[in-house]
Chains A and B, each alone.
Chain A
Amino acid sequence: MKYKPVLELKGSLLTLMVLNLFNSDNELIAKALAEKISKAPDFFQQVPIVIDLQAVEDNQAVLDLSELVKLLRTYGLTPVAVRGGNIEHNEIALNMNLGILNNIKSPAPQLTLETKVAAVPEIPAAKIIRDPIRSGQQVIAEKGDLIILSAVSHGAEILADRHIHVYGALRGRALAGINGDNKAQIFCQQLYADLLSVAGKYQVNEDFPEDLIGKSTQTYLEQDKLNIKKL
């Protein structure tokens, strides 16, 4: 009997339509797009398209990517990925289930002069958040501490390279030391967390000592074991 595989994954080179943007003015873009598409509306139906932001010359941050994606969809196009956007754009793209493609033109970042300068050790800045973190939201401090001045709801997720401090009630998931820093700690005023984790070692709410629920606590690793202690 011949074994016939159910599926296979393969890289493939495809020809895709790319929308190159040179300007970040949302209104100008909308206008120009309307003009282009009105010339051959049928041509653009269900066509996959990549949004390329590499050539945007002025302030990239002004560009409203989600609006643009919605606009393309209303014209019948199917945006599939984004290339060359900033971090916010990439985040919006992920939220809208779009892929993120690598920059093709810019040189590898390691080679630039600026990164060489940045290689001098510096103290990473803490990320400070004032607003409540709601269910379904995720906040990441990729470098340094994460400090949250209000509550973190059930179903929300906060992650930090180093320590996490929460000055409201902590109800969601808190993961400190996500890059393996086993000296990282989690501090909170009221512990109701769904899950606590330091450098990959975690505990779920059910396993927390009962007398610590609702208390202000400190969570840290001791001999590779997660420890929760009253403050």
Chain B
Amino acid sequence: MSKIIVITSGKGGVGKTTTSAAFATGLALRGNKTVVIDFDVGLRNLDLVMGCERRVVYDFINVINGEANLNQALIKDKRVENLFILPASQTRNKDALTLKGVARILEELKKDFDYIICDSPAGIEHGAIMAMYFADEALIVTNPEVSSVRDSDRIIGMLSSKTRRAMQKMPAIKEHLLITRYEEKRVNKGEMLSIKDVQEILAISLLGVIPESLEILKASNSGIPVILNKETDAGQAYLDIVARFLGEEPPQRKKKGFFSRLFGI
């Protein structure tokens, strides 16, 4: 049974695309046939982060409009077996995403893939709703900062009211919280919300915490998902998140428990 997972946040710049790239790569590394779709039509970024921008010929919108078929638009990742990217269009806008078109493509992808990752655009408008509409599960990416938490709260509300599962009274979308850009030092100084604060406000289950890391910027700029760099804190943290998502209990780290390793202290 294939699963559709939306990576969403409300606020921009919190790490949706970085997470989409890393999470999809992680699932594929574990032998799952995975496709990651860029829903940010008009601000195509995912292909950059995945390092395949020079191989984009056809895109998501071309497939929706019937100008190309899926196999022409899907880009096979060169590093990881089982990983495919469906890039967004740079020249169109989000209105080109129609519910019918998205539904048709997701149905087609479901026949072939174990996991379909939808990289949502920021905001709460049409593009974000299209990305979340058909989801079975959601990763809510949040920075430990009040405006990001507030926006995530809004998005969680929309997941439970404006999606297919909500409208057709099906079992609710399973929500996972992912806190990114976390800095233990600044939390201790009271400059940043703690994991506990964020969890208290959002009240959904925590999948993991990604520490603030210079490696992420480096990884994005070089087009290599950070999860492929197992030496880094952030890469390790994403690997653990994928393991936890697949129902495993990643090994506890030394004396301070698993969080300490995630924070890189």
Contact = CB atoms under 8 A, between A and B. Distances in A.
Given A66-B167, A70-B99, A74-B98, A169 B157 contact: no
A90 interface: no
B157 A74 contact: no
Interface residues of A, number: 21
A38 interface: no
Contacts of A133: 157
A156 B201 CA distance: 12
B153 A131 contact: no
Given A151-B203, A155-B150, A136 B157 contact: yes
Interface string A137-155: 1000000000000110111
Interface string B163-176: 00001100000000
B181 interface: no
B167 A134 contact: no
Contacts of B157: 133-137, 153, 156
Contact of A135 (B100, B153, B168, B203): B153
B3 interface: no
Nearest to A192: B201
A137 B154 CA distance: 8
B53 to A, nearest CB: 30
Nearest to A92: B167
A171 B162 CA distance: 23
A224 interface: no
Interface in B197-247: 200-201, 203
Nearest to A137: B157
B154 A136 contact: yes
Mostly, the B contact residues are helix
B99 A134 contact: no
A135 B151 CA distance: 8
Contacts, number: 48
B230 to A, nearest CB: 36
Nearest to B200: A169
B100 to A, nearest CB: 6
A113 to B, nearest CB: 33
A131 B160 CA distance: 10
Contacts of A156: 157
B156 interface: yes
Nearest to B204: A132
A134 B153 contact: yes
A151 B199 CA distance: 12
A153 to B, nearest CB: 5
A64 interface: yes
Contacts of B161: 137
Nearest to A171: B201
Interface in B131-161: 150-151, 153-154, 156-158, 160-161
Interface in A55-78: 64, 66-67, 70-71, 74
Contact of A74 (B100, B150, B201): B100
Contacts of A153: 150, 153, 157, 201
A204 to B, nearest CB: 17
A195 to B, nearest CB: 16
B176 to A, nearest CB: 16
Q: Which of A64, A70, A133, A134 has the most CB of B within 10 A?
A: A134
B203 A132 contact: yes
Interface in B85-105: 98-100
B201 A64 contact: no
B156 A134 contact: yes
A9 to B, nearest CB: 29
A155 B200 contact: no
Contacts of B200: 169
Given A169-B200, A171-B201, A135 B150 contact: yes
Interface string B115-131: 00000000010000000
A134 B151 CA distance: 10
Interface of B: 98-100, 124, 150-151, 153-154, 156-158, 160-162, 167-168, 200-201, 203
Given A133-B157, A153-B150, 10 more contacts: A66-B162, A74-B100, A132-B203, A135-B153, A135-B154, A136-B154, A136-B157, A154-B201, A155-B153, A155-B154
List the 3 closest pairs (A to B, CB-CB), nearest first. A134-B157, A135-B153, A135-B154
Interface of A: 64, 66-67, 70-71, 74, 131-137, 150-151, 153-156, 169, 171
12 contacts: A66-B162, A70-B99, A74-B100, A131-B160, A132-B203, A135-B150, A135-B153, A136-B124, A151-B201, A153-B153, A154-B150, A155-B154
